[in-house]
Amino acid sequence: MKFDCARSASLAIMLAALSTTAWCQDTGLPSLFPLPPLPPIGNGYPITQVAANDAVWGQSELSPVQNTPLQSPEVIQRPLQGPMQGPMQSPMQGSVQVPKESLLSPDYAGAMKGEYGGGYGTIGSPCGGSACCHNHYVYANALVMTRQEGCGMVVSVDDVTGEERLCTTCASNGQWAGGFEIGAGLCFGGGPCGTASGCCNSNAIELVYWGVFPAQRCINHVDDMDSTINFGDLNYNNGSANVPYHSAEFQQVCTSYNFNSVEANLVGNCGCGPFGCGMCGCCCGGSCRRIGFGYVAGFRYMNFSDYFLYQTSLNGFSMTGTDPNELNYAIGTNNNLFGFQLGGGLSYCLTNRFTAFTIAKAGVYDNHVTAVQRVYGPAGTATIANGPNAGQPFDVRTAGFETLGLASQIDFGCRWMICNSLTANFGYRVLGLSGVATTSTNIQQQNFHDVDGIAHVNRCGSFLLHGAFAGLTYCW
């Protein structure tokens, strides 16, 4: 009995000893005996937050892995609750401080906020910060373009073999010409499609002009040529107008044209789009996706004039302008198109400075067409030989006709960001026009006495204008 009481008393003493406060420490191998209490710990060193922490995500923004906001300095400085009473004091008696701002650069902070997944990367501004954001822009490009026309006709053949010598498009196709383009715009507005910082204007109103001005180009042949055009209904130099065009020693065709375009557009970007102030630099503030897109809508006026001249000399080997046996057949057309266009564009940031883009736009236009046709030479203007207009000079000038025209344009290019405000541009442009009056579709092959029919201008022509452009864009 006494033995059982002793065992009970020993167990009670051991349980009482275990109920005292103890500090956890590494004592090596486990022991069956309780550890003695350790002395209280003095002033230690609290763990303090440093600059490179979740504070880089901003005061009110959580990082992707943070679930609760950071504690303010006031919360951290409160006394600890629990067995240890009283606040812990550092040797320097200082409070825990949370940085109010990230010490990292804005570009690095922007890159930290990039989207996860989806294959999109972020591009930083090579010149830095909000200086990428602009309110105005101007640009100028040099153009080198050529005209390509599908339809045409042979106007001169060898009078022995019948082989082709000259055609209506022989001189115009493949003729490269110079021009220029200038534009200016006012940027405004932002929104969810702008940059993450919202500092950049994503929309703009712009005015653009470009034109191509080729010189007259002539192609000629010599020795024994006949025309495929029948001028028998006209008289010239006291005889038929057919005489200078048959068995001629010299013939040539000359062509020229002009193209002018004026646009007033509203443009907008989503992300790093290719329009407006987005033409300067790759990204604003360094926090947008590599891919951007935008829209364009506005009014456009285009003027296209076309000129064709078919010359012949019966006996000479050049056109002197004084030989009465020389004769000229001239055609001129003029198209004035005005209408509304819509389009869009894509851009892709290849590097911090290098951006590729494509822009396409198309419109429907009212086309006001005028034309003129003449047959003349050093001996005067040819006269109509028969019909109700017999004896009148063949100088047919048409009143204006209205028709529906279509136009589409696509640009492929790249931009190299020299600095925040200056960008170099280069690329290739293709413009297509249909529903226009060209000289090739209005050449009269016979029945020159039918003045009314000739005055009814053919307006079903079409052509392509394509070539390279290069220049600079300046934003401020």
Q: What residue segments make up the domains of the chain, in order of their start?
A: 126-475
The confidence band for 94, taking pLDDT boundaries of 50, 70 and 90, is very low
Mean pLDDT value across residues 206-229: 92
The DSSP secondary structure of 357-389, one letter per residue, reads EEEEEEEEEEEEEEEEEEEEETTEE-EE-SSTT
Q: What is the mean predicted confidence (pLDDT) over 303-312? A: 95
Q: How confident is the model at residue 104 (pLDDT cuts 50, 70, 90)?
A: low
pLDDT digits (tens, 9 = 90+) for 157-196: 998 888 998 988 877 777 889 999 999 999 887 654 444 4
Could you tell me which residue, 148 or 38, shows the higher pLDDT?
148
Q: Which two tokens stand for residue 230?
A: 């029948």
Q: In terms of pLDDT, which residue wins out, 209 or 42?
A: 209
Assign 351 a pLDDT band (cuts: 50, 70, 90): confident
Q: Residue 112 belongs to what H/E stretch?
A: helix 106-112
The residue written with tokens 């279509």 in the block is 406
Which CATH code for domain 126-475? Answer: 2.40.128.90
Q: Which pLDDT tens digit goes with each residue over 437-476?
A: 999 999 999 999 999 999 999 998 999 999 999 999 998 8
Q: What is the C-alpha separation between 333 and 32, in angstroms, rounded?
A: 112
Q: What is the pTM of this model?
A: 0.71
Question: Mind listing the pLDDT tens digit for each residue in 226-255?
Answer: 999 999 999 999 999 999 999 999 999 999
Question: Could you give the percent of the chain with pLDDT greater than 70?
Answer: 67
Q: What's the average model confidence in pLDDT over 67-96?
A: 48
* DSSP per-residue codes, 372-433: EEEEEETTEE-EE-SSTTTTSB-EEEPPPEEEEEEEEEEEEEEEEEEETTEEEEEEEEEEEE
Q: Most confidently modeled of 91-100, 104-113, 219-228, 270-279?
A: 219-228
> Rounded distance, CA 424 to CA 44, Å?
61
Amino acid 201: pLDDT: 65
pLDDT of residue 188: 85
Least confident of 27-31, 52-56, 374-378: 52-56
